[in-house]
């Protein structure tokens, strides 16, 4: 009996080690689901704008869209940098970006490295290089008021959004379904394995604690990917925070179930963030 039991225990232990090794080696592919696809021209969707190529500090060229603001001659416009979620890219979002483009703002959205038609491989450091490249590109646009640049990040996009908001003078932050950290996500989805196996940090909670810009969070109450408690934790971290909980929504259907409409809430928050302190 005992030899058979010991063999069974040894088999289970060996299987556990093998599965842990697979998780260790494949976590990059598990974290970054990167759909491919060429970036189309905005005019193909009836939008005014341009397809742009942006250089990163480590020598890559990444592609995306720039949709300018409607403004009078000589006026400088605020801007919104859009960081999308996992398994998305500009080509997939193209049919919806026109309705999500806040009035009066320029909109810049770039595919991450390894996404869309971009070269390179996705990584945490790569997200930050790509975010820095987006900011640097806007710095070269004379029509953009760099004192009024906001960032949006959905799910995975909350990582570069909060990174940029804590390293650049970002004036407002919008997060949709953010998570607290990579290890916290591992504890949710791979609870039988130690979180120290995760090689990524992606510590949104720590960055949120340092954030000084106004923050607006949208999160579904039935989110099974990044549970609502994560959005609540990021919202509690300090500063001017607003959490809009979408009752009954999961991780990917917030846009469909939210009331008032998604684009309206974003526009209202950005308009309020643009007002000088003390403005009624």
One-letter-per-residue 3-state SS of the chain: CHHHHHHHHHHHHHHHHHHHHHHHHHHHHHHCCCCECCCCCHHHHCCCCEEEEEECCCCCEEEEEEECCCCCCCCCEEEEEEECCCCCCHHHHHHHHHHHCCCCCEEEEECCCCCECCCCCCCHHHHHHHHHHHHHHHHCCCCEEEEEEEEEEEHHHHHHHHHHHCCCCCCEEEEECCCCCHHHHHHHHCCCCCHHHCCCCCCHHHHHHHCCCCEEEEEECCCCCCCHHHHHHHHHCCCCEEEEEECCCCCCCHHHHCCCCHHHHHHHHHHHHHCCCCCC
Give the domain ranges of the chain.
32-274
Q: Which of 111, 130, 176, 223 is catalytic?
A: 223
Percent of the chain with pLDDT over 90: 73
Q: Does residue 223 carry a catalytic annotation?
A: yes
Going by pLDDT thresholds of 50, 70 and 90, the confidence category of residue 279 is: very low
Under 8 Å between Cβ of 67 and 106? yes
Task: Tell me: pLDDT of 277 over 50.
Answer: no
Task: Tell me: pLDDT of 5 over 60.
Answer: no
What confidence tens digit (pLDDT) does each residue in 106-136 have?
Answer: 999 999 999 999 999 999 999 999 999 999 9
Q: Tell me: domain 32-274, CATH 3.90.650.10, correct?
A: no
If phi over 0 gives left and psi between -120 and 50 gives alpha, with beta otherwise, what is residue 138?
alpha
pLDDT of residue 14: 53
Q: Beta 77-83 vs 144-154: how paired, if at all?
A: parallel
- The model's pTM: 0.90
**Apex CA 246: angle with CA 242 and CA 249, to 5°?**
145
Q: Extract the tokens encoding 152.
A: 């949006």
Q: Which of 155, 158, 181, 208 is catalytic?
A: 155
Q: Does residue 99 carry a catalytic annotation?
A: no
What confidence tens digit (pLDDT) does each residue in 38-67 have?
Answer: 999 999 999 999 999 999 999 999 999 999
Question: CA-CA distance, 193 to 21, in Å (whole number)?
Answer: 11
What confidence tens digit (pLDDT) does each residue in 169-221 have?
Answer: 999 999 999 999 998 988 886 665 555 666 789 999 999 999 999 999 999 99
pLDDT of residue 85: 96
What confidence tens digit (pLDDT) does each residue in 64-100 have?
Answer: 999 999 876 668 999 999 999 999 999 999 999 999 9
Q: Does residue 251 carry a catalytic annotation?
A: yes
């Amino acid at each position: 009996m005992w030899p058979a039991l010991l063999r069974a225990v040894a088999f289970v232990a060996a299987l556990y080690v093998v599965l842990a090794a697979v998780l260790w080696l494949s976590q990059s592919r598990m974290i970054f689901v990167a759909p491919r696809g060429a970036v189309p021209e905005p005019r193909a969707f009836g939008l005014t704008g341009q397809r742009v190529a942006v250089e990163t500090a480590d020598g890559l060229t990444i592609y995306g869209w720039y949709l300018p603001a409607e403004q009078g001659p000589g006026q400088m416009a605020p801007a919104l940098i859009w960081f999308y979620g996992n398994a998305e890219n500009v080509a997939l979002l193209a049919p919806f970006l026109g309705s999500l483009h806040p009035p009066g703002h320029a909109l810049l959205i770039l595919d991450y490295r390894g996404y869309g038609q971009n070269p390179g491989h996705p990584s945490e450091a790569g997200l930050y290089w790509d975010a820095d490249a987006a900011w640097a590109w806007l710095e070269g646009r004379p029509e953009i008021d760099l004192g009024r640049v906001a960032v949006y990040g959905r799910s995975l996009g909350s990582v570069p959004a909060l990174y940029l908001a804590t390293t650049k003078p970002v004036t407002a932050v919008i997060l949709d379904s953010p998570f607290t950290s990579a290890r916290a996500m591992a504890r949710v989805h791979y609870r039988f394995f130690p979180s120290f196996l995760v090689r990524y940090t992606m510590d949104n909670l720590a960055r949120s604690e340092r954030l000084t810009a106004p923050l607006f969070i949208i999160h579904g109450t039935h989110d099974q990917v990044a549970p609502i408690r994560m959005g609540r934790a990021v919202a509690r971290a300090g500063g001017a925070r607003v959490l809009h909980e979408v009752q009954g929504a999961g991780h990917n259907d917030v846009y469909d179930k939210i009331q008032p409409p998604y684009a309206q809430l974003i526009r209202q928050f950005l308009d309020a963030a643009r007002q000088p302190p003390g403005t009624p």
